[in-house]
Structure 1
């Protein structure tokens, strides 16, 4: 059982938000993502942001390791999904929302090719040792010209044991510069997060365009 299975089993899901992310609402329209195209949401949990994206005319493809989270997404939406097995994955679908349950890093492009993608808390959930593999998988699943919206957090890593882990802007540049055009849309200080005992916390919003 992974740490994420344990967290969902114990309902230690402080990373989940019951309302749509305000930075998604603010910045997604500026991406001019292909209408009707597939939006990839890696490590999606039961995020209500997927409903928001679907309501804007996109077909949403979430990817999540923990089946409990996937089932909760459809149950809380009141939308019983169809379920099919594809190799080692389970694919659940209801209307414009599809979630593939399984290992994101093993997902073939045949199951999740996309024209845009959204990352609110995926890359920051991963330790630095696997971040390059995450970026390579995004590159594999996204067609050239695909646009992504990514929201990150940065704080003194020695002050808190992640996840979420700190992802400074310099590391974003290192990870994405070889395959993506990078545009920093907004950076803001998160005063509320200092309650965790952190001296400073910032959040950055990026537009990432696949070359």
Structure 2
């Protein structure tokens, strides 16, 4: 199994593209979904955020107020870095185990939806191919303002806090332009799925994994046999 990274910019329509991949039976591990889980009340990251940012970023129910926290970290680079230091290890740990489950389920590849794939760089060494979802700048701004019910100035600040879409597209293996109709976007997804399914890369990885597992089993058998004969010799010498 190999890993395909999917990223883009805020409000470029990644969620729409993700659902299209799921329609074709491709497993998707969503970093945003996992990010919400790791900050649930009582989780390790929840306590660390409370200590670092105080009670003001939480609702009375104890749940994280993502909008308030989002405003804080987009205004302050150091606080954004601090939040990433708290949440990212927990997120990547959950994503790792999700990928392991997909591997043993026999999937050819898995898509990891990583909004900050390039910004953090943490997963780049493990990803075989990269997909970037992009759209026209004016459309991105409009979508964000409508989705988050925010002013144009705040929306622009959110967008500018991320790496530019052009830079991301330059580093991608596939670019899905999501400015047109849903049918147009789906056609692009179908082409990407077809190319990925034709890849033989997963067999190389499964061979390596198989050899590794065989080596572990052989080592266990050898140690067991060695221990058995050692005990038998010790017993006969008494």
TM-score by structure 2 length?
Answer: 0.29
Q: Comparing both structures, which one devotes a greater share of its residues to helix?
A: 2
- Specify which structure has the bigger relative contact order, considering alpha-carbon pairs within 8 angstroms and separated by 6 or more residues: 2
Q: Comparing both structures, which one devotes a greater share of its residues to strand?
A: 1
